[in-house]
């Protein structure tokens, strides 16, 4: 059985309705009033307590009828007489539903309009880049990032766009910011690695790959990229180990096999030394990805 409604419960709901009315939150005001009215219908409250409840309810209805939205819909105010709680309860419930639907529709319209503005500015920024006006494009991307900061993934999106345009130095700032907000963003990790590779910042590229492994898991592609970066430094043991780790994940990876064969004579002497074990992926990965 549902818990018994007390006079205290009803008074508290009326008090909440009045508090929400002062904040111009008409949906919560209507909801609390409806709960209070239902409490009057289903409770066994008489005498002084019921008289006090009706007195509080009259004050709450005056607050409700002063609200801008209610005045617009009901210029004469919502009418309620004692003893007619049931029809008034249904009026409150229907009104709440209609206003909730209208509020959601307005919210979605506003969101769609805002996303349309975002798309228009992203297209404009891309056009500036293609026209060779990178300075104005950078300024516009910064404004987009600041104005639409509440949209999840906005910095990751901008960083990826800049990466695709070959604006690696500019992209790094947005990608690092994106990863500070969401460390498991695979697109941001992939783009950041590509940026450092494009800038020939090999140490940072290797650190970015290792961070990606920690955050989102090791993969054939990441091991292969590490092997290539170590090749530039002639770190033959690490070239071999990472290439082998990539080949273990895909025995058909011809590039990894080629790197192993290239590194093998550099690190194994005629004494018959064994290859080092494949590197273990950094801890903290949650699964393999393709980058």
Supply the pLDDT for residue 85: 87
How much of the chain exceeds pLDDT 90, in percent? 76
For the full predicted model, state whether its pTM sits above 0.75. Answer: no
Asked if pLDDT for residue 272 goes beyond 70, the answer is no
Asked if pLDDT for residue 283 goes beyond 60, the answer is no
1 pLDDT tier (thresholds 50, 70, 90) = low
Supply the pLDDT for residue 271: 35
Closest CA to 40 of 78, 1, 77, 92: 92
* Residue 186 DSSP SS3: helix
Asked if pLDDT for residue 151 goes beyond 60, the answer is yes
285 pLDDT tier (thresholds 50, 70, 90) = very low
Mean pLDDT, the chain, rounded, equals 89
How much of the chain exceeds pLDDT 70, in percent? 91
Give 17-45 pLDDT, tens digit per residue.
999 999 999 999 999 999 999 998 888 87
Of residues 280 and 143, more confidence is placed in 143
81 pLDDT tier (thresholds 50, 70, 90) = confident
Asked if pLDDT for residue 276 goes beyond 80, the answer is no
Question: What residue ranges do the domains of the chain occupy?
Answer: 7-104
Asked if pLDDT for residue 178 goes beyond 90, the answer is yes
Give 179-232 pLDDT, tens digit per residue.
999 999 999 999 999 999 999 999 999 999 999 999 999 999 999 999 999 999
Of residues 139 and 40, more confidence is placed in 139
Contact 214, 282 (CB under 8 A): yes
Closest CA to 176 of 136, 218, 212: 212
**Mean pLDDT across 77-104:** 91
Asked if pLDDT for residue 282 goes beyond 70, the answer is no
Asked if pLDDT for residue 255 goes beyond 50, the answer is yes
User: How far is residue 25's CA from residue 260's CA, in Å, rounded to a whole number?
Assistant: 68
Asked if pLDDT for residue 263 goes beyond 60, the answer is yes
Supply the pLDDT for residue 284: 47
Lowest mean pLDDT among 11-15, 221-225, 274-278: 274-278
Q: Work out the number of other CB atoms within 10 angstroms of the CB of residue 90.
A: 12
User: How far is residue 33's CA from residue 99's CA, in Å, rounded to a whole number?
Assistant: 15
């Amino acid at each position: 059985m549902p818990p018994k409604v007390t006079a205290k419960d009803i008074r508290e709901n009326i008090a909440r309705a009045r508090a929400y009315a002062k904040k111009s939150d008409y949906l919560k005001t209507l909801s609390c009033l409806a709960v209070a009215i239902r409490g009057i219908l289903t409770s066994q409250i008489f005498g002084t307590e019921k008289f006090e409840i009706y007195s509080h309810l009259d004050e709450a209805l005056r607050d409700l009828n002063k609200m801008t939205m209610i005045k617009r819909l009901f210029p004469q105010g919502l009418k309620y007489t004692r003893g007619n709680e049931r029809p008034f309860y249904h009026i409150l419930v229907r009104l709440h539903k209609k206003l909730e639907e209208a509020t959601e529709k307005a919210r979605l319209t506003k969101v769609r309009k805002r996303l349309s503005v975002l798309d228009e500015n992203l297209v404009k920024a891309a056009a500036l880049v293609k026209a060779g006006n990178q300075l104005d494009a950078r300024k516009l991307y910064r404004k987009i990032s600041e104005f639409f900061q509440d949209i999840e993934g906005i910095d990751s999106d901008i960083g990826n766009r800049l990466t695709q345009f070959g604006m690696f130095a500019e992209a790094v700032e947005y990608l690092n910011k994106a990863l500070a907000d969401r460390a498991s963003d695979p697109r941001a990790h992939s783009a950041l690695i590509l940026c450092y590779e494009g800038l020939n910042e090999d140490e940072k590229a290797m650190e970015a790959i290792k961070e990606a492994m920690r955050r989102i898991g090791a993969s054939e592609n990441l091991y292969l990229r590490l092997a290539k970066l170590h090749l530039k430094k002639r770190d033959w043991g690490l070239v071999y180990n990472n290439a082998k780790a990539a080949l273990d994940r895909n025995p058909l990876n011809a590039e990894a096999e080629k790197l192993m064969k290239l590194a093998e004579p550099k690190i194994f002497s005629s004494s018959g030394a064994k290859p080092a074990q494949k590197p273990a992926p950094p801890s903290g990965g949650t699964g393999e990805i393709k980058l």
